[in-house]
Amino acid sequence: MTGFLALLSSLIWWVLYGSIGAIVPSAIAWLVLRWNEGAPVVFNRTYLACLIWSLLTLLIGALAAAHVGITKPPLAPLIASGAFRLGLVLSMLIGVIALWRLIPRVDARRIRVGSACVAVAVVMAIAFGVATTLAGT
């Protein structure tokens, strides 16, 4: 019973941190998509796509950290590892697919794949810049 409660608690915290972590990327992606598409996009669907992307990215990052064996600071060796870089590529592919498939424009047409790629690239560039800045200190 204790193991089940620990697993349930971990899942609840995973979803909570994932939803908190999806707020800023969804705002950035929404602005980029609005600019790149030339038409308004639906924000709540952008948040949903970024939430799914965030949850899977947290899972991929945790698996990469466990594989490399670096789960505590300093995290610079983790960022330099091949498993983490492969996880970033996989995360970006998941992000593009999630944004492209889940986000409609207000005229009910799906966003372009190129727009999803640009939005994911901007979000990842900002996130990677913040992560490398924090890992270096």
Condensed to tens digits (0 to 9), the pLDDT of residues 18-66 reads 899 899 999 999 999 999 998 899 999 999 999 999 999 989 999 999 9
**Residue with tokens 């204790």, as numbered in its chain:** 2
Number of domains the chain contains? 1
Sign of CA dihedral 36, 124, 88, 60: negative
Q: Taking a C-beta distance cutoff of 8 angstroms, is the pair 96, 113 a contact?
A: yes
Q: What is the pLDDT of residue 48?
A: 96
Share of the chain above pLDDT 90, in %: 69
The reported pTM is 0.87
pLDDT tier at 137, thresholds 50, 70, 90 = low
Element (H, E) at 47: helix 43-68
Average pLDDT, the chain: 91
Joined tokens for residue 132: 């490398």
State the residue range of the domain holding 6. Answer: 2-136
Nearest to 84 by CA among 100, 106, 61: 61
Tell me: the pLDDT tens digits for 83-124? 999 999 999 999 999 999 999 988 888 999 999 999 999 999
